[in-house]
Amino acid sequence: MNIFRLAGDMTHLFSVLVLLLKIHTIKSCAGVSLKTQELYALVFAARYLDIFTNYISLYNTVMKLIFLGSSFSIVWYMRYHKIVRRSYDKDQDTFRHYFLILPCLLLALLINEKFTFKEVMWTFSLYLEAVAILPQLVLLQRTRNIDNLTGQYVFLLGAYRALYILNWVYRYFTEPHFVHWITWVSGLVQTLLYADFFYYYFQSWKNNQKLHLPA
Amino acid sequence: KEESVLKDEL
């Protein structure tokens, strides 16, 4: 464990807590994409298949349970909670996220480190996570007013993977033959997808204005 | 085992 990875995990934890807090306290999911939340639930389900069979550490298991629990409960809130679901903007959240799942699955079947069920599912979760934010970014472009919590959620979600990239650089230089191209490339693509959001987020922060993305 | 090295990440 290095500082970059710990910072990345904490940033990721904060992003899901910010979102859960928003939905649970103000009972609203305005501006939040259900599609992205469903993709993330799928990412964690595919990645943490061995949560009970491959014990690594208490920290690792607890964090996996938190990520699984939070992502599925956010999906539950947005789909079934009678108050929260009313604030879900399904007419705007129209990204066909099923078109993301299949290509990622096919790619995982073609490009992976080992052709086993667990490894292919793990690789699938990497590719899917890289594109899971797209429905949310599209929704932000459409809904003019981006409330602070949603903006912070997306920012933290992007920052966590950027910190993971620093973690991979650190591990590359400190651990012998630590080479994982698949993870590095998908992590880089994921972070680059946030590039323009980061730019506008920083601009709004610098000029102390409300965050708005150009149409 | 290199494979497990990466799997300790979240």
Can you read off the two tokens belonging to residue A76? Answer: 């539950």
Q: Which residues, 6+ apart, have CB-to-CB distance to A88 below 8 Å?
A: A29, A30, A32, A34, A78
Sequence ranges of the domains in chain A: 3-206
Q: Which of B3, B6, B10 sits opposite A60 (nearest CB)?
A: B10
Task: Give the whole-number percent of chain B exceeding pLDDT 90.
Answer: 20
The yes-or-no verdict on residue A209 having pLDDT over 90 is no
The average pLDDT across A135-152 equals 89
Q: Which residues, 6+ apart, have CB-to-CB distance to A71 below 8 Å?
A: A16, A37, A40, A41, A43, A44
CB atoms inside a 10 Å sphere around CB A5:
19
Q: Where are the beta strands (DSSP E) in A93-179?
A: none
The yes-or-no verdict on residue A120 having pLDDT over 70 is yes
Query: Are A67 and B10 a contacting pair at CB < 8 A?
Result: yes
B9 contact residues in A (CB cutoff 8 A)? 5, 164, 167
The yes-or-no verdict on residue A213 having pLDDT over 90 is no
The C-alpha of B1 sits at a distance from chain A's nearest C-alpha, in angstroms, of 11
Task: Give the whole-number percent of chain A exceeding pLDDT 70.
Answer: 100
The yes-or-no verdict on residue A164 having pLDDT over 50 is yes
Distance of CA A49 to the CA centre of its chain: 18
Give the C-alpha distances (Å, rounded to integers) separating A161 from A30, A158, A179.
25, 6, 17
The answer to whether the CB of A158 falls within 8 A of the CB of A188 is no
Query: Are A9 and B5 a contacting pair at CB < 8 A?
Result: no
Give the integer Cα–Cα distance in Å for A158 and A65: 21
pLDDT of residue B5: 67
Give the C-alpha distances (Å, rounded to integers) separating A210 from A63, A95, A207.
33, 25, 9
Question: Taking CA atoms, what residue in B is nearest to A63?
Answer: B10
pLDDT of residue B1: 44
pLDDT tens, position by position, A51-97: 999 999 999 999 999 999 999 999 999 999 999 999 999 999 999 99
Mean pLDDT of chain A: 95
- 3-state secondary structure at position A109: helix
The C-alpha of A64 sits at a distance from chain B's nearest C-alpha, in angstroms, of 7
Give the integer Cα–Cα distance in Å for A194 and A165: 14
CB-based contact (8 Å) between A114 and chain B? yes
